[in-house]
Amino acid sequence: MAYIGRFAPTPSGPLHMGSLSTALLSWLDARIHSGKWHLRIDDIDTPRIKPGSTNAILQTLRAHGLDWDGPVQYQSTRLHIYREYLEQLEKRHLTYRCNCSRKVLKQNGLVYKGTCRNKTSPEIHPPFAIRLKVPEKKISIADVLQGTQTVDLAADSGDFIIRRRDGIFAYHFATVLDDFDLGVTNIVRGIDLLPSTFAQVLIRDFFSMPAVSYAHVPLWLQSDERKFSKQNSSRAVENHLALQNLRQAAIRLQLAGEDETSEIQSIAGMLDLLLARWQQVSTGHRELPHKVTVDREL
């Protein structure tokens, strides 16, 4: 089967070193397998979107030599497709409406107790979310980097939301449908998204979609152990320092040392080195760190 990967950022701000690192590793994995690497902009969570972010992301990827295949995809053009898939689940009675207040949800804790599961639709007044009925069974994934992971989703989260009460489709619902329609076979992304993977596997199962390969890569953490993120005001990547950024990624991810990277004077040369080192990771001859903590700039 031909390899098809993707990078799917939310345009809530420019890329920082953590998100650039994820894009880089995803790109490397696609290229060492002679595969395609698609770029999708996950732009349906409108309250999070910041004007100009999409162009900034595209410019940063280009500046660092991370070329993508085919046209850029946009989730915002696919809302009708999400509705069609949702209707399929509704016809199979696999969903229900939920208008639980924030107070009730807070009282429930992390696991939804199924408060609205047995209510009839006329009892649920808008605005309401739509939840997926989670069966009582364990879900396992064989993560390429993290090993086999197993979760009892019903006990871990309960019935989860696939469309929010504001009408926005949940990330784990939309991303499954997008990946399927793109023909994605391999997903390389940050380990912070590992917990949501089990919900995605369940959704794929409900639609009889083929399984995909997952590889969850290390998070970049600030000196205070908070992850690199736009919410934590992580500094945006500077495109004119692209070679330095790739060098920093190579060293922080333990793919190369300072001496050998300092000898390379081009982006193409740095990517060639990283492709060779990622091949070693892919074959089990090199390991990534569990996390990347940045206490100073290289």
Q: 4-74+177-294 and 79-173: same fold?
A: yes
How much is the pLDDT for 151? Answer: 96
> Would you state the pLDDT for residue 291?
84
The domains of the chain are located at: 4-74+177-294, 79-173
- Looking at the whole model, is its pTM more than 0.75? yes
In our burial notation (b when 16+ CB lie closer than 10 A, e otherwise), range 3-27 reads bbbbbbbbbbbbbbbbbbbbbbbbb
SS3 177: helix
Residues of the chain by 3-state class (helix, strand, coil), percent to 5 = 40, 20, 40
Q: What is the pLDDT of residue 225?
A: 65
Which class would CATH give 79-173? alpha beta
Torsion (CA) 12, 17, 19, 23 in degrees, nearest 10: 130
Q: How far lies 89's CA from each of 30, 78, 83, 95, 201, in Å?
A: 32, 17, 10, 6, 15
- Closest C-alpha to 137, from 153, 124, 122, 148: 153
pLDDT mean values, one per 10 residues, the chain (298 residues): 96 94 98 98 95 97 98 98 98 96 82 89 87 96 96 95 97 97 98 96 98 95 69 80 97 95 96 97 91 68
Please give the pLDDT value at position 20: 97
**What pLDDT does 124 receive?**
85
Identify the CATH assignment for 4-74+177-294 out of 3.40.50.720, 3.40.50.300, 1.10.10.10, 3.40.50.620.
3.40.50.620
Please tell me the predicted confidence (pLDDT) of residue 296. Answer: 54
